[in-house]
Each structure stands twice: as C-alpha cells, then as structure tokens.
Amino acid sequence: MLKLDFLDPKPAFAEEQETFDIPSFEIPAVHNPIQFLEQHTSGATKTHIKIEHGTTTLAFKFKHGVVVAVDSRATGGSYIASQSVKKVIEINPYLLGTMAGGAADCSYWERELGRRCRLYELRNKERISVAAASKLLSNMVYAYKGMGLSMGTMVAGWDKTGPQLFYVDSDGQRLKADLFSVGSGSTYAYGVLDSEYSFDMSVEKAIDLARRSIYHATFRDAYSGGVVNVYHVKEQGWEFISQTDVTELHYQYAAEPRPALI
C-alpha cells in the first residue's frame, strides 16, 4: 500500500514539541488548588504543613559591573541538609541567577529560563537583555501564583545597556535596583552593605564587601553557612571569583583591628 504520510502538513514530532515548549505540572485533584494549599499551610488543620527555609544571597551594581555573592547551606527546618549547594545558577555566559526559597523551584525555573534565553538567541540572532530575561521568569512563575512556589531570585547580567540587576519572586513581582539581598540572613547582610556600599568602589573592595556581608549573615543567621561563593559580571561575561569557607573568614576577620566606638 502506498503511504502518503509526507502529505501531512503537521510533522510527527509537532505534538511532542508543543508539550515541550510549555511546561505543565500535576496539581492537587481538588476543586480549588490554591484554597486547598492555603488551608493546609496556614495551621487551620491538623495536617499542617510548615515549610521552612533560609539562606543569604546578595548582588549589587557598581561602576565595574555586578558582584553576586551567596552562601551554600541548605536546611530543612533545624536540620542542615547540605553545606555545598550551588546557589548561583549560570543561565548563560552573560546572565546569572540566584536561589533563595525552595531549592527545587529556583533551580527548575531558572534552568527553564536558560533554555528560553537560548531559544531567543537562536530566533533573533542576538543575546536577550537582562530586563527581558527577568520578565520571562516573572511571567512564567506568575501563572502558578498561590500554588506553593517559593522563590526569591535575582537576575544579574550585562547587555547592550550595561550592567543590570533585577529581583523576581514566586508571586511574579519584579523589581529593578542597584542592590538587593534576599533570604533569612538578608537583614544582617544589608547592615554591612548599607554601611560600606558605594557605586564608585574598586573591584577589589566590591568583592571584599560582598564576601564580608555574606560572612556576617552566616554568623548571625543559623539557616545560612557553608562557603561564600562570589561572582563578578563584566562586559565580557561573568567570572567566578572565589569560594571561601566561612570558618576561615571568621578567624581572618577576628584578627583584624576593630574601629573605636564613638
């Protein structure tokens, strides 16, 4: 029998390609998944699910680019699950994302963002801007608002307009600023950042400030710790700077002379 499959305008792989383009997930088989989740995480029922998480991440713009610094501790309540989590996700050679909140949520959605950024490059023959990449991430997670995602991420990079920094969370909120710190230890990190941050800093001072800020957060916040990973985003792309154990930093900073109190 003569096969006329070649006359079919729709390729055999088209269905598979369409499902790959738009991620979809299993949701609770209830009438209202959002209301169901609120009920079981608010303490209103005996089967109360308490989701606890903590971390410290930061990023700031200065005249030589963007510095990104993170800790590496993963916790489940008071249990330390890991001391070696990579909380900076390398989206492409010019874009970095950070993880705060649920590790699985941040990791999945930022890797999905990397895929979409690559597709943008192939279609448009140019790199995606940092603003557009952060908007893509915001739009993707907004579709699942109220369904239990836990994300507080920063998207940092360098595009045609220079260094850029955005904050995106699991509610679809998207903010642009020169300095962000996210996580349970962020208040401690802000204390150090606000006292020493300047847009005209040298590269060496900016890297030291980022590292010092994360260290002080790990010292005060039980949910942060491990090592401090530092990245520097430049016009030529991002560069991994260092990985330093917080114990080493503790003794290094303890040996430094302290300023006299007024």
Q: What is the DSSP code (8-state) at residue 156?
A: E
Spot the catalytic one: 55, 57, 98, 153: 55
Report the alpha-carbon distance of residue 198 to residue 61 in Å, rounded.
9
Within a 10 A sphere around the Cβ of 105, how many other Cβ atoms?
18
153 part of the active site: no
The set of residues, in sequence order, having a beta carbon less than 8 Å from that of 89 and lying 6+ positions away, is 96, 97, 98, 99, 106, 107, 110, 111, 114
Report the first-to-last Cα separation within the chain, whole angstroms: 95
Nearest alpha carbon to residue 105 among 28, 178, 51 = 51
Asked if 233 and 166 count as a contact pair (C-beta separation under 8 A), the reply is: no
Residue 207 phi, psi dihedral angles, 5° rounding: -65, -40
As to burial, measured by CB atoms within 10 angstroms (0-12 exposed, 13-18 middle, 19+ buried), residue 238 is buried
∠ CA 227-173-99, nearest 5°, is: 15
Catalytic residues: 55
